[in-house]
Structure 1
């Protein structure tokens, strides 16, 4: 396995690194000021739209899509170091490059399973960054870590589907630019195979019966830049039967296809978050004195920084291996590695951020530094796209099978 970056990746890394330094990072404070001055905190600040225009002009657009027809045509191995860079500014950089969840996963679904009409109506505007979208899967009344528990009903009624159910933590739904939901629910609850009971339908936001009720906070944060995480009720919302995505009973399989790339994208960005934390730790340690000497001279601080560097290098190698396997043997062949990075990366990055917070003292938990919000984001990713325990259960089952006698 050769993980040396090829010429195109190096070119894009340099271009993206320059864009982040000169445009994105300085825009973080500007975006905060603009958002605070707006009537609604959910409206995208003007500076973000300016960043999107610049990124598209630089060719830093839809980098996540390996399909050259719709995206940049990069492999997972080529995209990994680019996604890592965007993790340095998770609030602004992914959106600026049109590489932010949940739109990325939704575009992948539409590109893979959408009809030509569905792609014209929704994929094209998403690819152009004109609208946002949401993926409505998680429910408050069941253990949604087991997708077969989902209770939302999608019932065929003549030429329409009727959607009824309550969802929550539906990312992006508070943003007024969110124009469509991909809703997962049960079309065939009587099917013997519990993984063939679910389907997905496209539900426009303005459909009667769609109620975006409230924003859900995440450790006290509302994630304004990605459109929040909403509670959404579908109260007999009717859509044409042509809004079915894929086939009836294919919802579970499509969800798995969507979540695989999403998990590795999150892990790529988490490494970038860790790199920013290390940078802040080093700056803080060398500019603050305690007990008669710079904090950088304290043995425990040096251990924190050294351990963080080791962890990041380990994680990066595992993520790159996973990306390489996804490119060479497919997502199914990389199943073990995808689950491994989903378990290992958020855990380690939470630890790194926790030490960075500790080093910054009161500043670490304040709004004056990005560390508290980065910590909340990383900690949440131990739940998003499947909690640790679900991946551990599956990974252990596969490992035990390898060592079963006979």
Structure 2
């Protein structure tokens, strides 16, 4: 790669420091609403600073980084809650960019992918449903798409759909007969798509919020099918590894910034006759934060190299991304919790930002696969290599009504 990634990371961090952090403070302390006007202004500034589009190809005005380069640059962008949005590499758009680049047709790329990469639009992906629909188990999708003349009709309800309010299009995952699922590109102005209320969640920094979305008699043409019919969950797996790793990169950046803030705070504040930084318990928190950040950074960069070498669909890359996401999500939480403790009473006041960092980070342990589900997937892969196949049983005729049970890797 010809790009000097280290220099780009430094410029990205400088851009965040100078132009994004003042806006972040307005959002947290002054209660300014995170909307597309904010996003567009920040992305315009990122272009002018030459740090826009880590995932966007150079020919479309971006930086065209691989995952190894992204690990450094997105960590720098992640030093602000809204930094990834400013450089056009925030969820769910980052994962959708990977997915569309791997699956979409040339016409779909022109209509949906390229505007997304250029920052002209935002997107959403609709999988999660109210109970008893899909959550951590994507095989439980209840939204259905029926084939009709010239296309499909989608019916179903989704919720916790990040960025749905104001998205140009939504990738809807729906069941399409024979137990399979299919992805559909649904434009925001489709009369069968309704974005409902923005759900009141702990985190407030995502443009478009987390919304309820309903598909009611929603007609889409055959050209709206993304990839092959029935392959929706397989494509979802392609999206997961880079999306999980991007989450790790950006949240690691926020943890590192908070760690620096806490170190400066306790050096300049005294208690019991000496700086807080000279107290052993405070030093223990600082040391543990340094250890967690160093371990998380090494793991993220190692998995990024595997992803670049083996590709998005690699089982090795998926396994590594699951490990990284589980560890980093919990390490970031530990770091931010210690930072709040080091700030003392000021740590629970949003004037000093770290309280908001902690609250916003809580969802990281759930989004793109909860830690519990990921641990199950990790353990199954490990144990699979040590499982002795059972002796072959006599083949018996199955009842006519019997259907195969799909075996799916948990998200």
Could you tell me how far 1:253 is from its partner in structure 2?
A: 1.0
SS in 2 for 1:226: coil
* Ranges in structure 2 where 5+ consecutive residues have no aligned partner: 390-411
Task: Indicate the residue corresponding to 2:22 in structure 1.
Answer: 26
Q: Is the 8 A contact 2:340 2:347 kept in 1?
A: yes
Is residue 35–residue 44 contact of structure 1 (8 Å, CA) maintained in 2? Answer: no
Residue pairs, 1:292-331, within 5 angstroms: 292-331=273-312
**Aligned positions of 1:72-111 closer than 5 A:** 72-91=63-82, 93-111=83-101
How far residue 289 of structure 1 moved from its aligned partner, in angstroms, is 2.3
**How many residue pairs get matched?**
385
TM superposition shift of 1:217: 2.5
Match status 1:13 vs 2:2: no
Is the contact between residue 218 and residue 380 of structure 1 (CA under 8 Å) also seen in structure 2? no
Residue range with higher mean Cα deviation, 102-111 or 327-336: 327-336
Counterpart secondary structure, 1:213: strand
- Asked if the contact 2:29/2:351 (under 8 Å) is kept, the reply is no
Q: Does 1:185 align with 2:202?
A: no
For the residues of structure 2 that align with 1:31 and 1:235, how far apart are their CA atoms?
A: 35
DSSP-derived class of the 1:169 partner: strand
The CA distance in 2 between the partners of 1:314 and 1:158, in whole Å, is 55
Match status 1:112 vs 2:102: yes
Shift of 1:337: 1.5
Normalised to the residue count of structure 1, the TM-score between the two structures is 0.89
The separation in 2 between residues aligned to 1:319 and 1:33, in whole angstroms, is 31
Residues 156 and 241 in structure 1, CA contact (< 8 A), matched pair in contact too? no
Question: Unaligned regions of 5+ residues in structure 1, if any?
Answer: 192-196
Greater shift after overlay, 252-261 or 69-78? 69-78
User: C-alpha distance in 2, partners of 1:330/1:290?
Assistant: 53
**Displacement after TM superposition at 1:31 (Å):** 5.4
Q: Deviations over 1:181-217 (max 9, x none)?
A: 11011012x34xxxxx110101111211222111112
Q: Provide the residue aligned with 2:190 in structure 1.
A: 207
Q: Distance in 2 between matches of 1:51 and 1:43?
A: 11
SS at 2:288 equivalent: helix
Pick one of 33, 36, 46 that aligns with 1:44.
Answer: 36
Q: Is the Cα contact below 8 Å between 1:89 and 1:273 reproduced in 2?
A: yes
* 2:127 paired with 1:145: no
Question: Tell me, what secondary structure is at the counterpart of 1:309?
Answer: helix
The answer (yes or no) to whether the contact 1:216–1:222 under 8 Å persists in 2 is no
The answer for the alignment partner of 1:123 in structure 2 is: 113
Q: RMSD in angstroms over aligned alpha carbons?
A: 2.2
How has the CA–CA distance of structure 1 residues 42 and 159 changed in structure 2, closer, same or farther, with 3 Å as cutoff? farther
For residues 95-114 of structure 1, what are the alpha-carbon distances to aligned partners after superposition, in whole Å with 9 as ceiling and x for unaligned? Answer: 21111111112222222211
